[in-house]
Every structure is written in structure tokens, then in C-alpha cells.
Amino acid sequence: GCQSQSLVAVENDAFVLGTFGQIRVYAPSEEEGLKAIAVAFKRITELENAMGPSLVGSDVYNINANAGKTSVQVSDDTLKVIKEGIKYEGLTSGAFNITLGSLIELWGIGKEWQKVPSPADIQDSKEHIEIINLQIDGNKIMIKDPEMLMDLGGIAKGYSVDEAVKVLKANGIKSGFVNLGGDVYAFGQKPDESKWAIGIQKPLVNSNGVVAKVLLENQSIVSSGNYERYFVDKGIRYHHIIDPATGYPSDSGVVSVTIISDSAIDGDALSTAVFILGHEKGMELVEELEGVDAVVITKDNTVYISSGANDMVEILDKTYQPAD
């Protein structure tokens, strides 16, 4: 392309959606860049206010508070995310499930009450995760099972990234990236016309090393791992991605999943789902989906790369081996 105008890199950060949010843009001036970033963060906060589960008065809070009682009018954003959530439940044979809230509450990973629940409590919660009990009528949502809860924690961040990018573009920004706690979308061309290089984090606790780099252009890159939110009990690590089939943190042998796709909402749902499905079933699904690629790392440091991503991924840490 021809960049007649010289652009400046402008960046700002904020704590949003319970995580570190970072936006960088290339703008005609610092002032214009900061203004666009501020509008994007405002949009993210609006989405947080609609979908935060513990925020009194949010759509999700209201849906859960009225489970088994009545339907709740929700915003178009919430409706859209719920519909996508339902779609991914179907696509992932139930591995991704936005009505897993009772189990997520029970484990409480990252909350003050986190603990290993009794097998009986897990069994009990598992009986209240049937997505069929989530009813949609226009913008009205109702959970029919009084003990079922909704949790959009595995998908709302991705949607927020996509929406923030839309806002930046609408405010005249032609290139930049949005990063919400590792859910990233990179768009447009950098001034030097090079591609965006995003690192895949080492799937280890408290490591800031990088396993591989991925070159992107107008794509999202979203990772899920077992090394970020967890607690340890009697030497066992319990992380925050729950397998609906067992009611326990997923133990598929996968330690990190990175999804490269056209939108971060897809990447968010699929990174969580492929983590649970494991590298074989997970990759099978990824290969079936148009425009979706994945990098899956297993316990034994093997790196599985989907067919479409081979040219985009470069392994930098040689203790990790590509699968053959």
C-alpha cells in the first residue's frame, strides 16, 4: 500500500473484563490515536457491564437471578454472544457450554471460595448444565432450570476484542491491535508494511517465555491454557477450563491451545473447546472449519499445527518439537 501520511504508534492500557487490556494503533496524531483508543475501551466497558456475571444488574446477573422464574430482556450484544455460545455447544459436541455456571461457581477457581468440591456436589451440579434449558424468545432469555447458571467467561472477551476493533476502524484507525488478556486481534498494515508477529506464551506457570511466533494480518489469535488461572491442593493443580463431561478441570493432555481465525469470538470459544477436546478431536474440528487454524501444545512439549497455519508459525524454543 502507499502510506502518504506518516503515522505514529499510540498505545494505552486499562484493566477491563478482569484482565489487562492493551490497545495499540497507528494514527495520524497521538491525539487522534488516544481518542480512538478511549472510545474502544468505553465500548469494552459497556460489554463488561452487560455480561459480567457478578455485576449486579448485568444481563447475565439478571438471567441467573431469575433462573426458574422468569425471562429477562437483554441487550443485542448479550443476545448475540449467547447465540454464538449455543452454536459452539453444538459444534463442539458439548465441550463448550455457556450454561456450565453451576460447576464454575462450585469450583470457584480464582474466587475466595475455591476448593476441590466433593464428588457428590460435582455430580449434583452436572445435572444442571443442559443448554436446552436456555430459552430465547426475541431479546428475552430464560433459564428454565432454577439451579442452572450462565457463564460467558469463555466467549465474552473474544466478542469484546472484535467490537473494540470495529470501534477503532469507525474512528478512522487503519491499523493496530487489541489485546484483552491474551485474546488478540491485529488489523491493517504496520507503517513498515511488515506483518504482525504475536508470540505464543510458554505454557508454564509464571513464565514469560515464548514457544513460537505467529505472523498475522487481519486475524485474531486467542489462547487458552491451564497455567494462568488455577489453584493447587495436595500438590495437584486445578485450572479453570472445566470439562462438562466429567465436571472436573479438563485433563486432555493439552496444556495450551491457540486459535487463529477471522474473529476473536470464534477464537475464544474454540480455544476453550479444543483444550477440552484434546489434540486429536480438537484438530479434527479445526480442520473442518473454514478460516480457522490452531496451534495445540501437549504435556510432552509437542506442538501440533493445523494445515493452514504451517506457513504462519515459527517455533522459537527448541525444547518444543513439531508433531510429524
| Interacting residues toward ligand ADP by CB under 6 A | 95-98, 100, 104, 151, 153-154, 157, 181-182, 224, 228-229, 240-242, 244, 268, 271-272, 276
Nearest to 319 by CA among 295, 304, 303: 303
Taking the complex as a whole, the smallest distance from the CB of residue 181 to ligand ADP amounts, in Å, to 6
Taking the complex as a whole, the smallest distance from the CB of residue 14 to ligand ADP amounts, in Å, to 17
Residue 100 cell numbers, joined: 456450565
Residue 153 interacts, among ligand ADP, Mg ion, none and using kind-specific CB cut-offs from 5 to 8 Å, with: ligand ADP
Query: Whose Cβ is closer to ligand ADP: residue 181's or residue 203's?
Result: 181
- Alpha-carbon span 66 to 230, nearest angstrom: 29
Residue 241 interacts, among Mg ion, ligand ADP, none and using kind-specific CB cut-offs from 5 to 8 Å, with: ligand ADP
In the complex, which residue's CB is closest to ligand ADP?
153
Binding site for Mg ion (CB under 5 A): 154, 268, 272
Taking the complex as a whole, the smallest distance from the CB of residue 257 to ligand ADP amounts, in Å, to 8
Helix axes 156-170, 264-288, angle to 10 degrees: 120
Residue 240 interacts, among ligand ADP, Mg ion, none and using kind-specific CB cut-offs from 5 to 8 Å, with: ligand ADP
Contact 157, 183 (CB under 8 A): yes
Quick one: DSSP state of residue 242?
Answer: B
3-class secondary structure, 219: strand
Taking the complex as a whole, the smallest distance from the CB of residue 18 to ligand ADP amounts, in Å, to 8
Burial code (b: 16+ CB inside 10 Å, e: under 16) for 50-73 equals bbbbeeeebbbbbbbeebeeebbe
Taking the complex as a whole, the smallest distance from the CB of residue 223 to Mg ion amounts, in Å, to 7
